[in-house]
Amino acid sequence: MNSQAYKKSLSDEIDFKVLDQLHSAVTQFSSFCFEIKKFCITTIFIVLAFITKFTNNQLDSSLFTSSFLMISFFWFLDSTSYYYQVKLRGLMNSRIEGIENRNNNNGLKDHKGDIIIDSSRVDKSFIKKAINSLFNLSMSLYYGLFVVNVTTVVLFKYGYIK
């Protein structure tokens, strides 16, 4: 078996540096998503406490409306961050493929199984990626908050809670 030792080219070095930067950006976006979720819960409880005090400890529609608005805002913010994570991971895959394509005969073994993100998640239209960003498992917190809010609105409307 005649295989050459792998030698990095200038293009490979640049791609590896870009990969490091993209990885750092994805990590920051991921951390940001977690912080958004924590900030969402904190903000909802603080705002609802203030509204309750301003309405003389009585429930009214402003409580539920503000909840819907806050949940929607944080959900959109989180999904935007998720969208960019997917885009960045797709760019990482492209860089890895570029390195592999340049080095197929230079001692670098084929690592087609080593992908950052499945191409089916990246190769979608903007609309499909945006919808996927809004509706995926990492957005479960917002689904739960939305269900709780809808339930309390119904209970309030029909007089079960006052």
114 pLDDT exceeds 80? no
Q: Are 49 and 118 in contact (CB under 8 A)?
A: no
User: Phi and psi of 138, rounded to 5°?
Assistant: -70, -10
Q: Please indicate whether residue 34 or residue 98 has the higher confidence score (pLDDT).
A: 34
pLDDT attached to residue 7: 77
- Sorting pLDDT into bands at 50, 70 and 90, what band is 109? low
pLDDT attached to residue 112: 56
From first CA to last CA, the distance across the chain in angstroms is 80
User: Phi and psi of 76, rounded to 5°?
Assistant: -65, -45
For the stretch 43-77, pLDDT in tens is: 999 999 999 888 888 888 889 999 999 999 999 99
Q: Please indicate whether residue 120 or residue 151 has the higher confidence score (pLDDT).
A: 151
pLDDT attached to residue 111: 55
Q: Are 156 and 59 in contact (CB under 8 A)?
A: yes
pTM: 0.82
